[in-house]
Structure 1
Amino acid sequence: MSWTDQLIHFVDFEGSIASGILEYGVVTLRGAEILETHTRLCRATGRVRTEDAAVHGLDAATVAGHAPFSDDFEKFAHWRETAPLAAHFANAENTLIKSVWPYPRTSPDFARPGAVATDWGPWVDTGRLYPQFYPSLASAKLADVVAAFALQPRLDALAATHCPADRRHYHCALYDALAGALLLARLAEEPALATQTCGWLLEMSTLDGEKRDALRQGGLF
């Protein structure tokens, strides 16, 4: 089955290990079609550093009235059970989610059909995929890749529909998740890429050679 037939949940978090996750955005897509979005603010569990607030625009007072991220385990466990998770440079999202919940429930291993896994990954990682598929890119930063492929107008149109009015720019969780989802959707429109399997996409998202070997040895191909 092509990866374009598989649901994928694109995730972005704002926050840090110090403050906890202050906002999340999740975009569910299949192929090039965005199916649904989710976002909310989350109460800080530690100090929100001034330098971090300057980037994402969230301080302790802004998020004080919201439930902590830890209240949403059922949502994220369900998303992990139904599809692989994706992010742009996924190590950050993986580190943050594991700081709250080290493991999801036992879930399908989308790298090895028929197997099960007890981890949040492997992740589909557009931050790793785009430099491999388009080595002439000057930068792999999310905003730069969106601009390079002329996706900014489409992103802003989607943000106007899906994002809170004051969270429609980069370093807002759902906005960034929509940006990454558009990059993934664009790959689904590339004929040479659209026919590949989900396992292949996950392998290509893992630049570490030992991890790629482990995927192969586990029966990916």
Structure 2
Amino acid sequence: MSWPAQTIHFIDFEGGATCGILEYGVVTLRGGEIVDTATRLCRATGRVRPEDVAVHGIEPMAVAEEAPFTEEFERFASLRESGPLAAHFANAENTMLKSVWPYARQAPDWVRPGAVSTEWGPWIDTGRLYPQLYLGLESARLEELVGRMRLQNELDRVALELCPLDRRRYHAALYDALAGALLLRHLATEPEVAAQSLPWLLTMSTLDPDKREAMTQGDLF
């Protein structure tokens, strides 16, 4: 089965090492369509630095009464069971997720049919995929890629429907997750890319040569 037909969960977090996860956004793609979204603010676990507020716009008082992100294990473990996780430069999301829960529940490996894993990854990573598939890109930054692929108008249209009123901008979790999901969906407009398998997409998202070699053991393709 080609990868666009699969269920894929695109994730973005806002926060940091000091304050923890302050906001999450999740966009679920299935068959190339957005079928579900989720987002909320989360109580800080430490100091929210002014320089971080300048980026994501989340003031400490805005999250003071919110439930902490630690209450979301069931949601994220269930996502991991139903499809691979995706992010734009996924190392940040993987690091933040593992800082809260080092392991997920046992779930399909998604690279090796029939195998299981308790890791949150491997991730589909649009930040790694685009430079490999579109040679000569000057930048793989999220906002610049959205503009380069002429997806900004569509992003704003979808955000108007799905994002909270005051979070329809870059560095808001659901908005950024939508941007990444549209970039991932855009890859399916390239026939040679759309025809590939999910293990291929996951392997191409991994730049580390040792990890990539390990993922390709067993004639994945």
Q: TM-score, normalised by structure 1?
A: 0.98
2:202 matched residue in structure 1: 202
2:165 matched residue in structure 1: 165
Alpha carbons 1:110, 1:198 under 8 Å: kept: yes
Alpha carbons 1:31, 1:188 under 8 Å: kept: no
State the distance in 1 between where 2:215 and 2:59 align.
Answer: 41
1:38 matched residue in structure 2: 38
| Identity between Structure 1 and Structure 2 (%) | 65
Q: Which moved more, 1:31-40 or 1:68-77?
A: 31-40
1:53 matched residue in structure 2: 53
2:74 matched residue in structure 1: 74
* Aligned amino acid, residue 186 of structure 2: R
1:216 matched residue in structure 2: 216
2:155 matched residue in structure 1: 155
State the distance in 2 between where 1:162 and 1:65 align.
Answer: 23
1:181 matched residue in structure 2: 181
State the distance in 1 between where 2:215 and 2:179 align.
Answer: 28
State the distance in 2 between where 1:39 and 1:188 align.
Answer: 25
* Aligned amino acid, residue 185 of structure 1: R
State the distance in 2 between where 1:101 and 1:218 align.
Answer: 30
* Post-superposition CA distance 1:24-73 (Å, at most 9, x none): 00000024211111000000001111101100001211111110000010
2:23 matched residue in structure 1: 23
**Measured at CA, do residues 46 and 219 of structure 1 come closer, stay the same or move farther in structure 2, by a change above 3 Å?**
farther
* CA RMSD after TM alignment: 0.8
2:119 matched residue in structure 1: 119
Matched, 1:8 2:2: no
Alpha carbons 2:84, 2:123 under 8 Å: kept: yes
Q: Structure 1 residue 218: deviation in Å?
A: 4.8
* Aligned amino acid, residue 114 of structure 2: G
State the distance in 2 between where 1:77 and 1:147 align.
Answer: 33
Q: Which moved more, 1:93-102 or 1:29-38?
A: 29-38
* Aligned amino acid, residue 83 of structure 2: A
1:83 matched residue in structure 2: 83
State the distance in 2 between where 1:196 and 1:181 align.
Answer: 18
Structure 1, unaligned runs of 5 or more: none
Which runs of structure 1 show a deviation greater than 6 angstroms over 4 or more consecutive aligned residues? none
Q: TM-score, normalised by structure 2?
A: 0.98
State the distance in 1 between where 2:120 and 2:111 align.
Answer: 12
State the distance in 2 between where 1:106 and 1:60 align.
Answer: 35
